Chain A
Amino acid sequence: VTSTRRDHPGNHRALVLALRCYPRRWKARHAEEAAELAHMLASDGVPPGSIAFDYLLGAVRARLAPLVARCWRPRTLAVLATGVIAAACLAVSTAPAPAGASGVVRVEVGQDAGGAGASHLAQAIRSHHFHIVVRQVVVPASQVGSIVAARVTGHPAPSDQVIGEIKGRCADGSEGCTVGLAIPANFIGTATVLVGRGACSSGPTDNVRVWHKMNGSRTGTSSHAC
């Protein structure tokens, strides 16, 4: 006779443990019959583990049922559940939205004559998946590193899709230059932003570096750099 998995002492222990979990009243009435039933089911091929597990679930239900019946009547449960759901909905609706999920996204350009500021701006815009192209144009020294224009292209922008300007200090120290953009988080249009740079001694005066934002990926075209 070979020892089978069904006869494993661990299975018997699991069954005994599960039956011990029942309330005393239940055990007094059903324990012997339940143990005999478990052995009959096991001999029919039902996995002993699943028998023990089912008894364990039954024990949990047997212990919880009177508690639920006594303390948590259906109406109380319904009121409690409604309260929990309402509180959860309220918490979700009043919780601060994650960055970019609502409101306005603020991106700023670093004032750098070499183009690093524009690059920084393009990167910030790209990280929010906006379809906005950043270009550099030659401007007077005072406007280097500032945003000289931000134009929404394509379809006319809805009233809630207007790109705002963030004012700040100009390269020469004066105030009033546009140093950043306030982009609606739900902005779905396309736009072109022109960032000022210093003049080159030769070569083209604009389109120095263009980032096309398409589907969240960057395709960089560099026609020329000073």
Chain B
Amino acid sequence: MAPNRKMGTRGDDVLRRAGDASVLILTSLAEGPKHGYALIQDVSAFSGVRLGPGTLYGALDRLEQLGLIEALPSQDRRHPYQITAEGVSVLTSHLDALDRVSKVGRLRLGFEAS
């Protein structure tokens, strides 16, 4: 599978349309597989955003359909999820784009580039 398939035909960032929750979940899963509750706790810890459970499952389904994450065999009733190689690629591209915007924004606000 080509790593940039999910970047769209015009090179647009698929995560931009998937929403902030998707980015937060992928970022959390970049650390390692997690189930729903652990995801909510981790996202809250590193971003301050408390994902609602309905939002979480909606984003998980969407990311799974896009092939950016996959469910691991369930432990009891919990389904851990892990990021796929394609998910890593898409997240990297998205964070690069955010980084470029961040740098320009900081520069224009008068902050020195770090």
Q: A-side interface residues toward B, CB under 8 Å?
A: 18, 26, 29-30, 32-34, 36-38, 40-41, 46, 50-51, 54-59, 61-62, 65
Q: Cβ of B77 and Cβ of A58 under 8 Å apart?
A: no
Binding site for A on B (CB under 8 A): 35-37, 40, 50, 52-55, 57-58, 61-62, 77-79
- Across the interface, which residues of B come within 8 angstroms of A51, CB to CB? 52-53
Ranked 3 nearest A-B pairs via Cβ: A58-B54, A54-B52, A54-B54
Q: Are A37 and B37 in contact (CB under 8 A)?
A: yes
Residues A37 and B53 in contact, CB atoms below 8 Å apart: yes
Q: Give the docked Cα–Cα distance between A50 and B78 (Å).
A: 22
Please name all residues of chain A whose beta carbon is closer than 8 Å to the beta carbon of B62 when the two chains form the complex. 65
Which of A33, A56, A59 is close to B79, meaning CB atoms less than 8 Å apart?
A: A33
Besides A34-B57, A40-B37, 4 more A-B contacts (Cβ < 8 Å) are: A33-B77, A33-B79, A37-B37, A55-B54
How far apart are the CA atoms of A37 and B78 in the complex, in Å?
Answer: 9
CB contacts (< 8 Å) of B37 on chain A: these are 37, 40-41
Least CB separation from A50: chain B residue: B52
Could you tell me the distance in whole angstroms from the C-beta of A63 to the nearest C-beta in chain B?
11
